[in-house]
Amino acid sequence: MAKSALYQGAILILLSELFLVLSGMVVKQLTGELPTEIIVFARNFFALIMLLPWLLRHGWVAIQTEYIGFHILRASVGVTAMMCLYYSWGHLPLAEAALLKQTSPFFIPLLAFLWLGEKVSMMTKLAVIVGFSGVFLVLNPGGEQINFAVFIALSGAMLGALAKVIIRRMSATEPAQRVVFYFALISSVLAAIPALLSWQTPTASQLLWLILMAATSTAAQLLLSRGYSLAPAGQLGVYTYASVIFAALFGWWLWDEVLGVNSWLGIILIMGAGFLSLSTKREVQKA
């Protein structure tokens, strides 16, 4: 693999994480003005609209599937994870929300072992232990109170990991575009139900914010997919932690968010565990 491809992939991953944080900032801006259910519905509905040109170009044959049950399961898990993620964006400091989202890889080996029977290496087990030790510190043990939004964020990370394991289960027969389309379609329907129960019509400015959120989220997904097509995940995964740095800077700049000592220690442990996990993946790829 040429070094230029690795550099290009790294830049795309960094841009993807920047757009992800920008999306989280919009969610934080809208929290308190609109219910989370409406924000999640808007995200999926606009994503579905953006996929319609692809469907018109390729026709119905592109979405024919024998695994509609798996698609429904993946969308149900994914939209619930999105609810948790968006709630955490709105109720936690940006850096903590971005960091806790990055704990998803620690759940994947456990879920893959329980469901798919995949082996878990000793290094991966060590990374999981170190990672969750960092989560324990972020929970602020010994503090006056524990922010339960942290538990919601962790639930979202676990559900996000489960969604990725489901995608891995379908990957042998289902192309990525089909998985993305069914996720947008089914998630829009599922998200519409709680959105209608808590509906309030967005103002013109709120509608613009919702469109910006959908655009930044979609851009993050596209940049991430393109980045990983240029170089192995084991070499690029380390750059996904840039979202924590971006979030810490923007949170301090716009909302005067200052993290405590426990949170910073937790960040160091979780990022260290992430690097350890990624180094294990690189060794597997070289073997």
Residues with Cβ within 8 Å of 207's Cβ and at least 6 positions away in sequence, in order, are none
Of 272, 278, 286, 275, the C-alpha closest to 130 is: 272
Residue 259 has pLDDT above 90, yes or no: no
At residue 284 the predicted structure's pLDDT band, cuts being 50, 70 and 90, is very low
Confidence at residue 100, expressed as pLDDT on a 0 to 100 scale: 83
Mean pLDDT score, 235-255: 80
pLDDT score at 286 = 46
Residues 6+ apart with CB under 8 A from 231: 1, 5, 6, 9, 10
Residue located via tokens 């955490």: 88
Percentage of residues in the chain with pLDDT exceeding 90?
Answer: 22
For the segment 42-82, what is each residue's pLDDT rounded down to a tens digit?
A: 998 988 898 888 888 888 888 888 888 888 998 899 899 98
Do residues 78 and 164 lie in contact, with contact meaning Cβ atoms separated by under 8 Å?
Answer: no
Longest dimension (CA), the chain: 58
Contact between 173 and 9 under an 8 Å Cβ cutoff? The reply is no
Instruction: Share the mean pLDDT of the chain.
Output: 80
Asked whether residue 283 carries a pLDDT value surpassing 50, the answer given is: no
Which string of DSSP letters, residue by residue, matches 123-186? Answer: HHHHHHHHHHHHHHHHT-TTSS---THHHHHHHHHHHHHHHHHHHHHHTTT--HHHHHHHHHHH
Q: State how far the Cα of 156 lies from the Cα of 153, in Å rounded to an integer.
A: 5
Report pLDDT for 188.
93
The angle at the Cα of 174, spanning 169 to 179, to the nearest 5 degrees, equals 90
Q: Please tell me the least confidently modeled range out of 85-89, 171-175, 202-206, 253-257.
A: 171-175
Residues facing 34 on adjacent strands: 31
HSE value, Cβ hemisphere, 13 Å, CA-based, for 164 = 15
- Tell me, what's the pLDDT at 87? 92
User: Any idea which of 18-32, 40-54, 223-237 has the lowest mean pLDDT?
Assistant: 223-237
Indicate the pLDDT class of residue 84, thresholds 50, 70 and 90: very high
- Specify the range with the lowest mean pLDDT, choosing from 5-19, 74-88, 208-222, 271-285: 271-285
- How far apart (Å, rounded) are the C-alpha atoms in residues 221 and 224? 5
pLDDT of residue 234: 56
How would residue 146 be classed by pLDDT, with cut points 50, 70 and 90? Answer: low
Three-class SS state of 259: coil
The reported pLDDT for the residue numbered 159 is 87
The CA angle 151-31-159, to the nearest 5 degrees, is: 35
Q: Determine the Cα–Cα distance for residues 106 and 55; give it in Å rounded to an integer.
A: 35
pLDDT of residue 37: 92
The span from the CA of 144 to the CA of 8, in Å, is: 46
Residue 168's Cβ-count burial label (10 Å; 0-12, 13-18, 19+) is middle
- pLDDT for res 112: 66
Distances from the Cα of 121 to the Cαs of 30, 127, 158, 160, 231, in angstroms?
42, 10, 20, 22, 23
- Judged against a pLDDT cut of 70, whether residue 120 lies above it is answered with no
Contact indicator for 174, 65 with CB cutoff of 8 Å:
yes
Alpha carbon distance 88, 92 (integer Å): 5
